[in-house]
């Protein structure tokens, strides 16, 4: 959704990639937490196996992302970010025509 757009916009405007990625991820986490709590309270039935899978994936991915962001040089992060955004956009375009 909006995370990749905000991240690339802030980096393009000269913000540090490390701080931008961290800030956007923290904001996404807060929004997702609020959505999850709302859905859990309003839904009659929750697919806990799906929730558990997402939690486990997040617990594994978050420290890995933080480590990679800390270790890679800024130019490499910008290149990787651009590559990921282009790849996801091409995938979305392809799926919309398929």
**Global pTM?**
0.50
Task: List CB contacts of 78: < 8 A, sequence separation 6 or more.
Answer: 11, 17
Whether 84 contacts 8, CB under 8 Å: no
Kindly state the average pLDDT of the residues 2-18. 85
d(Cα 8, Cα 6) in Å, to the nearest integer? 6
pLDDT averaged over every residue in the chain = 87
Kindly state the average pLDDT of the residues 41-48. 80
pLDDT value at 1 more than 70: no
Kindly state the average pLDDT of the residues 4-14. 86
């Amino acid at each position: 959704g909006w995370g990749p757009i905000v991240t690339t916009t802030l980096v393009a405007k000269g913000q540090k990639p490390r701080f931008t990625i961290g800030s956007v991820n923290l904001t996404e986490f807060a929004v997702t937490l609020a959505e999850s709590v709302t859905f859990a309270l309003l839904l009659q039935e929750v697919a806990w196996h799906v929730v558990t899978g997402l939690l486990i994936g997040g617990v594994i991915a978050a420290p890995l992302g933080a480590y990679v962001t800390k270790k890679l040089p800024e130019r490499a992060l910008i290149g990787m970010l651009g590559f990921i955004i282009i790849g996801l956009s091409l995938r979305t375009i392809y799926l919309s025509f398929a």
